[in-house]
Structure 1
Amino acid sequence: MSASPRKIIPLVPLNPLGPPEQKIQARAVTGRHARWRWAMVWLTQAFFYGLPWLNFNQRQAVLFDVAGGRFYLFGAVLYPQDLIYLTALLVLCALLLFAATALAGRVWCGFACPQTVYTQIFQWLELRIEGDRLARMRLDAQAWDAGKLRLRTGKHLAWAAVSLWTGLTFVGWFTPIRDLSTGLLTASGIGPWEVFWVLFYSLATYGNAGYLREKVCQHMCPYGRFQGSMLDRDTLIVGYDSARGEPRGARARGSDAQALKLGSCVDCTICVQVCPVGIDIREGLQAPCISCGLCIDACDTVMDKLQAPRGLIRFASQRELAGEAAAVGWRAQWRRPRVRIYAALLLGVSAALMLGFASRPTLRVDAIRDRGVLARQGEDGRITNVYRLQVMNASERARRIEVRVDGTPGLQVDTQVGRTLLAAQALTLPVTLSLPPAQAVSLAGRIVPIRLRVVDLDHAAQEFAAADSTFVIPH
């Protein structure tokens, strides 16, 4: 009796990363949300690209000079000691993000996030060069030939140009952009670190906006993961009205959906085709959704063609979509306690930031004692102490300064330091204080408190900076 032949099972290699994801080719759409998205693109990029080129008092209006330890904001000059204002600004931005999320979900992601903005710019270039969704899908499936090579080369050259310009502008916030541009054109006057950061930021823009796109939002950005803790059932989200839309099904234009026992959704899937993250909004609230509203524009266009009411997909709360509450408008959202708390915090932090920034001193001084010798006694019995004053001019005008001392009768400044402090200049001034013999004898063995003042001679009554220190009188 012969043995039955063995059944050979072919080995299929396993993909530990799961099945490959299909490339998302979003369909172009027009509508009010698409217009708002483009308005935010123009607004944010006019700020990012344009502000470094703006001059103020013969210098770049906004410049973060990290190497020089100066931050220029129009007429204000900030030093590293002013990082408290940056901290308050970051807190303010975080509160704005939390408030926006509590109101309308991930609208920041859908309209103003840099990843979204640059992805939209790159997709627009892709649309202009390769065509709309179906044309791009056919091009993806097409074998390589001269036509495909020409289109792909043109697209990537356009992406590279935008990326390089973005990298140059980014570095231009930290290095004067006019010097940077001239240095790049003449291949001189630009350091290796500037070249590195221009190329690094350009490559990051090219990769994130051209290739990673929605994967940055889904896998790299932490905001999409913890946004659920900031939402509640009253937050306005992009949602599908399943009670009105189901059961979905195709029908002729102008036909009666109720007679056909169908809902308003015709299952055209255009809402899925326009989604930049490739989700089906009809499946409910999902973490990848960035609340861009493009599916709303697409669905409204279909409803208009069917002569049906808009709003099958709309910004609505989960309570409204579940039939637990009536529709709540944007204005009514401000009555919610969570939103009011965020608004109160925003007002408080904004007021504190503006008040602190407006009242910050523009002339500053720190006093450091000579650590080598605390006190010296001269042949005539005079006692001297040596100090180093760190003087900072946080203004846009030059100052004539003079050092004065208060605290002990007879104490005076030897070799008076009177000089001009240039705009946005910081100096280290050596200062010697002396006490006559008569006072030194009466105060022998004591350490007396003093106050060193740097006075602006042009505004002596109004502007001065003071630093407390001590004067040592030996036995």
Structure 2
Amino acid sequence: MKFDIKEEHLIIKPYKSNESIYVREQKGFYQRIRRYLGWLLMLTFIAIPFIQFNGEQAVLLDVAKQEFRLFSVTFWPQDFVLLAGIFMVAAFALFFITTWLGRVWCGYTCPQTIWTLAFIWVEHRIEGKRNQRKALDKAPWSINKLQKRVAKHSIWLVMSLFTATTFMSYFIPASDLYSEMIAFEWSGLITFWVVFFTFCTYGNAGWMREQVCIYLCPYSRFQSAMFDKNTFLVAYDTKRGESRGPRKRKADHKSLGLGDCVDCNLCVEVCPVGIDIRNGMQYECINCGLCVDACDETMSRFNYPTGLISYTSEQRLLSKKPQPFNLKLAAYGSLCIMLVAALGLWINERIPLEASVLRDRNALYRVNYEGMVENTYTLKILNKSQQSANYRIYVEDIELDKIIQGEPIKTVQVAAGKMQEVPLTLSVDSYNLQQKMTNISFIIQSVNQPTTVVKKETVFFSD
């Protein structure tokens, strides 16, 4: 929050109410890590939809067909319990990393941070350095200013369109999406979502930037609940840095009563959320390390030891022995391992076959001309695998007429990812029925993979 005192009244203004943040470009050790990691993540994001497996797109979340393909496994809406498990693993993994290393997710791997810094990089190349961008904003409109603004926003829109199209290729086969784009044959629905995500990317990374992290992302609000005295975070060493103030490079700052901080303000100028790390821990900080690289560069110029601003912990700042592993960290880590193991076991035991049994609702039973009692059923067999499969259908717990026990009553072929309805009529000699309702079971078994078996129970009615 920003506080202004006017006429003995305290006026509270929202953060960044009337000023823009002009991020200064900074190089350094942590920025190289972010740059390489950012390129790796972006290239992975772009490349995944083009990976092929068995002649199909390896990763495809086909919402229209309700098929979610991940290499050799296809998930269906019936498998959405897996989604809950993935969210739980992601949550506890985030808690574990945050308790240990602070907000490194926000600073190094969050798409909002990666795309925002990419947009700022474009802005820097077109409009110039920080002071040049500030001067350009204040300058009256001219041909030069118009050209730079048009160039910048055009590149931003192209980047946003490419991002949106890539994102949509996770839900629509990439070959179809791009071929239809080239032929201008996108449907209205696809066009809507591409335009929607284009402007979301353009707005978030180009205009809102740090406001997304501060106002829209809930993570910044509850992160402090996971921090402890041993959590690594970006912090300023007050004991060493204060009192801050400018000085000449060769001056003895100790004799002047000054600390190591030269008050160059670079840590503020490079901060993508516009905070001053010297004011202590703030929820806006995303632990990106830009201020660390900027401060280390200044310390090197003055021949001071680096690390005035660094990745540290409260224990280290107090000159106490850190305890990197504690009960809370161990609990989060253990929960992650257990959930991952449970998900792996569930996926390993998952049967790529789904079946249901529906009775004929028009008649409970009927007696044919031979005096046999007949019941009619409809089996719905869903082949959840990625290959066509043959299935044998057996019946248990009842002796069928003209059917030897243990032999299939029918064999059907179901295409990959398809559901097939199989009508069946069971005939039973009334002398073999001891009661009006007999519990029976349909067994559906894969011919090629006998371990793929589904058992569905139902009832056989008689007079």
SS in 2 for 1:206: helix
Deviations along 1:175-197, one digit per CA (max 9) or x if unpaired, are 11221111122122x32111111
Task: State the alpha-carbon separation in 1 of the partners of residues 298 and 395 from structure 2.
Answer: 80
Q: Deviations over 1:128-158 (max 9, x none)?
A: 2112211211211121111111111111110
CA distance in structure 2 between the aligned counterparts of 1:337 and 1:183, rounded to whole angstroms: 54
Q: 2:246 aligns with which of 238, 247, 250?
A: 250
Pairs within 5 Å for 1:289-300:
289-300=285-296
Question: 1:227: Cα distance to partner?
Answer: 1.2
Within 5 Å, which residues of 2 pair with 1:18-167?
20-167=17-164
C-alpha distance in structure 2 between counterparts of 1:250 and 1:105, whole Å: 31
| Residues 13-412 of structure 1: pairs in structure 2 closer than 5 A | 20-188=17-185, 190-321=186-317, 323=318, 325-326=320-321, 328=322, 333=324, 335-410=325-400
Q: Supply the AA of the counterpart residue of 2:320.
A: A
> 1:415 Cα shift?
11
1:15 Cα offset (Å): 11
Relative to the length of structure 2, the TM-score reads: 0.92
Map of 1:469 onto structure 2: 458
Report if the CA contact (8 A) 1:234-1:317 is conserved.
yes
How many residues of Structure 1 are paired with residues of Structure 2 in the alignment?
450
What amino acid does structure 2 have at the position aligned with 1:456?
S
Per-residue Cα deviation, 1:273-296 (whole angstroms, up to 9, x for no partner): 000000000000011111111100
Q: Which residue of structure 2 aligns with residue 4 of structure 1? A: none
Measured after TM superposition, the shift of residue 412 of structure 1 is 7.3
Once the two structures are TM-superposed, the CA of residue 16 in structure 1 deviates from its matched residue by 8.3
- Show the counterpart of 1:429: 422
Normalised to the residue count of structure 1, the TM-score between the two structures is 0.90
Q: Confirm or deny: 8 A CA contact 1:240 1:313 kept in the other structure.
A: yes
C-alpha separation in 1, matches of 2:392 and 2:147 = 70
CA contact (8 A) 1:412 1:433 kept: no
User: Does the 8 Å contact 2:364/2:375 carry over to 1?
Assistant: yes
Contact 2:394 2:408 in 1 (8 A): no
Q: Deviations over 1:19-76 (max 9, x none)?
A: 8431101001111211222123122212221111111111111111111111111111
Instruction: Classify 1:224/1:412 alpha carbon distance in 2 versus 1 (closer, same or farther; 3 Å).
Output: farther
Secondary structure class of the residue paired with 2:283: coil
DSSP 3-state at the match of 2:80 = helix
User: Quick one: structure 1 residues 412 and 395, their matched pair in 2 at CA, closer, same or farther if it must change by over 3 Å?
Assistant: farther
CA distance in 2, matches of 1:256, 1:192: 70
SS of residue paired to 2:136: helix
Q: 1:273 to 1:359 in 2, by over 3 A?
A: same
On the 8 A contact 1:405/1:412 being kept in 2, the answer is: no
Bigger mean CA deviation after superposition, 425-434 or 195-204? 425-434
**Letter aligned with residue 84 of structure 1:** V
The change in CA–CA distance for 1:18 and 1:117 in structure 2 (over 3 A counts) is closer
Deviation, structure 1 residue 208:
0.6
Letter in 2 for 1:454: I
Q: Is the 8 A contact 2:394 2:410 kept in 1?
A: no
Contact kept in structure 2, 1:52 and 1:177, CA below 8 Å = yes
Letter in 2 for 1:170: F
Partner of 1:5: none
Does the Cα contact within 8 Å between 2:394 and 2:443 map onto a contact in 1? yes
Shift in CA distance, 135/378, structure 1 to aligned 2, threshold 3 Å: same
Q: Secondary structure at the match of 1:63?
A: strand
Contact 2:400 2:426 in 1 (8 A): no
One-letter code aligned to 1:201: F
Q: What is the percentage of aligned positions where both structures have the same residue?
A: 37
In 2, Cα distance between equivalents of 1:113 and 1:367: 47
Q: CA deviation at 1:229?
A: 1.3
Letter in 2 for 1:368: L
Distance 1:444 1:270 in 2: 88
Looking at structure 1, the residues matched to 16 and 420 of structure 2 have their Cα atoms a distance apart, in angstroms, of 63
Q: What amino acid is the match of 2:228?
A: D
Superposed displacement of residue 348, structure 1: 0.2
- SS of the residue corresponding to residue 413 of structure 2 reads strand
Counterpart CA distance in 2 for 1:225 and 1:294 is 22
Query: 2:3 is matched with which residue?
Result: none
Q: CA deviation at 1:324?
A: 5.6
Unaligned runs of 5+ in 1: 1-13
The letter for the 2-side match of 1:126 is E
- How big is each residue's C-alpha offset from its partner over 1:252-310, in whole Å with a ceiling of 9 and x where there is no partner? 21332222221010000000000000000000001111111110011011111111111
Q: Secondary structure of 1:181's partner? A: helix
In structure 2, give the amino acid aligned to 1:219: Y
Question: CA shift at 1:417, angstroms?
Answer: 4.1
Shift of 1:436: 2.3
The one-character-per-residue Cα deviations of 1:80-101 (angstroms, maximum 9, x if unpaired) are 1111111111111111111111
Distance 2:82 2:328 in 1: 26
Compared with structure 1, are the counterparts of its residues 33 and 157 closer, same or farther at alpha carbon in structure 2 (3 Å cutoff)? same
Structure 1 pair 107–338 and aligned structure 2 pair: CA distance change class (3 A)? same
Displacement of 1:234 in angstroms is: 2.2
Name the CA distance, whole Å, in 2 between partners of 1:43 and 1:430. Answer: 53
What is the DSSP-based 3-state SS (H/G/I as helix, E as strand, rest coil) of the residue aligned with 1:458? coil
- The separation in 2 between residues aligned to 1:225 and 1:76, in whole angstroms, is 37
State the 1:233 CA deviation.
Answer: 2.3
SS at match of 1:108: helix
**Deviation, structure 1 residue 383:** 1.6
User: How far apart are the structure 2 equivalents of 1:217 and 1:143?
Assistant: 31
